[in-house]
Amino acid sequence: MKKLNLVCVVLLGLIMLAGCGNKYEALPIHEDVDICAICNMQVKDDAFATQLTTKDGKNYKFDDIGCMNKWKKQNGTENIGMDYVRDYNDKEWIEYDKATYVYDASIRTPMAYGILNFKDKTSAETFVAEQGVGKIMNAQELATHDWKQNTDMMQMMGEDGHMHEGMEDMGNESNMTEDSSHK
């Protein structure tokens, strides 16, 4: 009888543990079908992709954190179960509130919002030190950020207004704009 009770307790514990997983896990990006919920551009499987899942289970993907912010302004945040950004260095999904951000208007991002995401402050500080540009922010500071697109960069991007081409090496100074008036 004691063995049966022990087995029942262990099974109950395992069932409870299985239910403790994150209800709103980040979903993989599928470039062939994923379209940004705001700008309708292709969502690349890169460091700029972001996503959120509403409490009712609907998932929205974005090609740039600026597009995700625009969605939040249009739809509110009360119904968001979880929102994710990707680490700039290794593309690991990070909860939006736990990430550290770097902003500079000269940083090239898909929709020219100039914000990069990092999983920790040290990585963000390293990027700023290496590039010589950038303001480090947390999620609370990002909430009061002035979300303007760099219109000069948008013109540089061409007619489709999308910056994904050739962005694999975005952190290199050769990919940064020379115009310091936007810093």
Q: What is the pLDDT of residue 116?
A: 98
Q: What is the pLDDT of residue 11?
A: 53
Q: What is the pLDDT of residue 18?
A: 44
Q: What is the pLDDT of residue 151?
A: 74
More confident residue, 21 or 107: 107
Positive or negative torsion for Cα 97, 63, 122, 125: negative
State yes or no: pLDDT of 170 exceeds 60.
no
CA distance 22 to 156: 40
Q: What is the pLDDT of residue 149?
A: 85
Q: Which of 10-14, 15-19, 66-70, 146-150 shows the lowest per-residue confidence on average (mean pLDDT)? A: 15-19
Using alpha carbons, select from 125, 108, 115 the residue that is nearest to residue 171: 108
CA distance 122 to 18: 33
Using alpha carbons, select from 80, 122, 76, 79 the residue that is nearest to residue 97: 80
- DSSP letter (8 states) at residue 86: E
Using 50, 70 and 90 to split pLDDT, how confident is the model at 183?
very low
Mean pLDDT value of segment 48-77? 97
Note the helical H segments in the chain: 2-18, 65-75, 121-131, 139-143, 151-157
CA distance 156 to 177: 10
CA distance 48 to 18: 31
Mean pLDDT value of segment 142-164? 69
Name the average pLDDT for the chain.
82
More confident residue, 10 or 105: 105
Using alpha carbons, select from 59, 37, 54, 170 the residue that is nearest to residue 115: 170
Q: Kindly report the pTM of this predicted structure.
A: 0.74
State yes or no: pLDDT of 19 exceeds 80.
no
Q: What is the pLDDT of residue 157?
A: 58
Residue 164 buriedness (CB in 10 A; 0-12 / 13-18 / 19+) = buried
Task: Please write the tens of the pLDDT for every residue from 109-122.
Answer: 999 999 999 999 99
Q: What is the pLDDT of residue 154?
A: 64
